Amino acid sequence: MSRFIESIKVEDQKIFLLEYHQKRVNETFAHFGREGSLDLAKIFKNLEHDEDGLYKLRIVYDLDKNFKTQLIPYAIPEIDDFQLVENNCFDYPFKFEDRKEFEKMKNKAKAEEIIIVKNNHITDTSYTNLLFLKGKEWFTPTTYLLNGVQRQFLLKNKKIKETEITLQNLKQFSHFQLINALNDFDDMFVYPIEKITNLPESSEYLEV
């Protein structure tokens, strides 16, 4: 049976974006024809977590409602370089625990992190959604692999906009940043677009 993961931000004993995580878990159970769900608030309460600081609450679960938890101290990583990696067949609509395909792509890359290109469109990194800066506005690709909770929250609160981001228009953006449940919308971790080591210089890139 497939297993799924939720990685939830816990900081100073407070849990973040809980309604978005709960919605995703509920939708996972419903999609696979299972009644009921897990109660994430109850799971967190039962941990009796009383430590300050930033933690990742990792919940691995299956559709029979078996689950295990880990509460791990977390620090936002700073990444040296990124590489565009093409994979036109990859789908990741649910947060499956099985991440072999991501690891395979990362192992082939010559950079610390990958940006996955699908059918000529920018999608996600191996563990986050992406935001790109044009002028003073931040945009996220319409062609995500996983509609992450932070992405949904920022769109709902009109802090970012969606747009089509392709290999052809990627260089119209000056900077980018990575977002997920633990990586907030944060000007501290903004990368110049040149951090992508194989930026397309021309349409010739598409024929490789």
DSSP-assigned beta bridge partners for residue 61? 4, 67
- 196: DSSP letter: B
One-letter amino acid identity for 171?
Answer: K
What is residue 155's predicted lDDT score, i.e. its pLDDT? 98
Which residues make Cβ contacts (< 8 Å) with residue 29, sequence separation at least 6?
A: 35, 36, 37, 63
| Cβ–Cβ < 8 Å for 130, 140 | yes
Q: Is 52 helix (H, G, I), strand (E, B) or coil?
A: coil
Mean pLDDT of 185-199: 92
Q: List phi, psi (to 5°) of 69.
A: -125, 150
HEC per residue, 60-97: EEECCCCEEEEEEECCCCCCCCEEEEECCCCCCCCCEC
Class of domain 82-207: alpha beta
* Range 54-80 average pLDDT: 96
Q: Which CATH architecture has domain 3-73?
A: 2-Layer Sandwich (3.30)
CB 84 within 8 A of CB 126: no
Question: What value, to the nearest 5°, has the Cα angle with vertex 45 and ends 44 and 50?
Answer: 90
Q: Do the Cβ atoms of 47 and 86 come closer than 8 Å?
A: no
Query: Where residue 186 falls among pLDDT bands split at 50, 70, 90?
Result: confident
The DSSP 8-state label assigned to residue 17 in this structure reads: S
| Residue 74 identity (one-letter amino acid) | Y
For strands 161-163 and 137-141, give the pairing.
parallel
**What is the per-residue pLDDT across 7-16, written as a single tens digit (0 to 9) for each?**
999 999 999 9
Instruction: Answer whether residue 208 shows pLDDT above 90.
Output: no
pLDDT per residue as tens digits for the range 107-149:
999 999 999 999 999 999 999 999 999 999 999 999 999 999 9
| 82-207 matches 3-73 in CATH topology | no
For the chain, what are the domain ranges?
A: 3-73, 82-207
208 CB-near residues (< 8 Å, 6+ apart): none
| CB neighbours of residue 201 within 10 Å | 8
Q: Tell me what pLDDT residue 162 has.
A: 98
Residue 85 exposed, middle or buried by CB count within 10 Å (0-12, 13-18, 19+): buried
